Amino acid sequence: MPETEEGRRPRIALTTYYQEGSWGVWNATAAIVPGAYVEGVARAGGTPVLLPPVGTDPEVLDMVDGLVVIGGVDVDPQFYGAEPHPRTSSQPSRDEHDIALTRRALDMELPLFAICRGAQILNVALGGTLIQHLPDINPVAAQYQPEPGRYGTVRFDTEPGSRCAELLGSSAESPCYHHQALDRVADGLLVTARAQDGTVEAVETATGGWTLGVQFHPEENRQDVRLFDGFVSAAREYALRRQNGR
């Protein structure tokens, strides 16, 4: 596979949690990324670069070749004009950080891979809305978050001709863990995968750079690296175009 200047691996920024963590004898606030995300990037040939939601500067994306907006807690409904549901739990400062980076990446046409909460951030950043507790309107959806700390499984069909279909084929399945989902899909996004119950499982931009938002958790399926491979390949091509002044 072609590399960027002097064989450099594409640099991939990842958003992070910012909350209590532990290491050694210490327990304190920390910037945290589950290892599956950084391992997915590294396995696909990228170099992970972590961007905690402190001291946010969207122009830092000028120094990388792609952005992964990782999963996490719910997006605060203030960002899409709704009142919070009793089951909604959010971290508004992290929302502000992730939304700012997402909008900057879209403006730059930087390759963007938005996972679970990240797909919801992508939709909200472009003016879309969310279903705050999916089992309220679809009891079957409880399977997507079966119990605390245990992933469910979702099977979905992809839209022919989409980026998702190109990478995964006409159907696939993945680990998932969510109780929210996309409601009104933002202008500029296309739904490119749905679960059998109609839940939106993937969205892409119709124009611009390589952008894919997925409601499921591909990083948790170490046996299927196709989405990470496709994303890092797009980041590599982006870096080469930038290097050559195109």
Asked about 201 being catalytic, the answer comes back as no
Which member of 201, 204, 219, 220 is catalytic? 219
DSSP E strand stretches across 16-73: 17-23, 26-32, 47-51, 66-69
Residue type for 107, please?
D
Which member of 97, 116, 179, 204 is catalytic? 116
Contact predicate 88/128, CB 8 Å: no
Asked about 219 being catalytic, the answer comes back as yes
- 44 is written with which tokens? 């696909």
Short-list 44, 104, 89, 97, CA closest to 233: 44
Which member of 97, 178, 179, 217 is catalytic? 217
Short-list 182, 213, 227, CA closest to 105: 213
DSSP class per residue in 70-127: ---SBPPGGGGT-PPPTT--B-HHHHHHHHHHHHHHHHHT--EEEETHHHHHHHHHTT
Q: Whole-angstrom Cα distance, residue 47 to residue 150?
A: 29
| Residue carrying the six token digits 């969310």 | 130
Distances in whole angstroms, Cα of residue 81 to Cα of each of 71, 75, 103, 113, 182: 21, 12, 18, 25, 14
Helix or strand holding residue 241 (H, E):
helix 226-243
Active site residues: 116, 217, 219
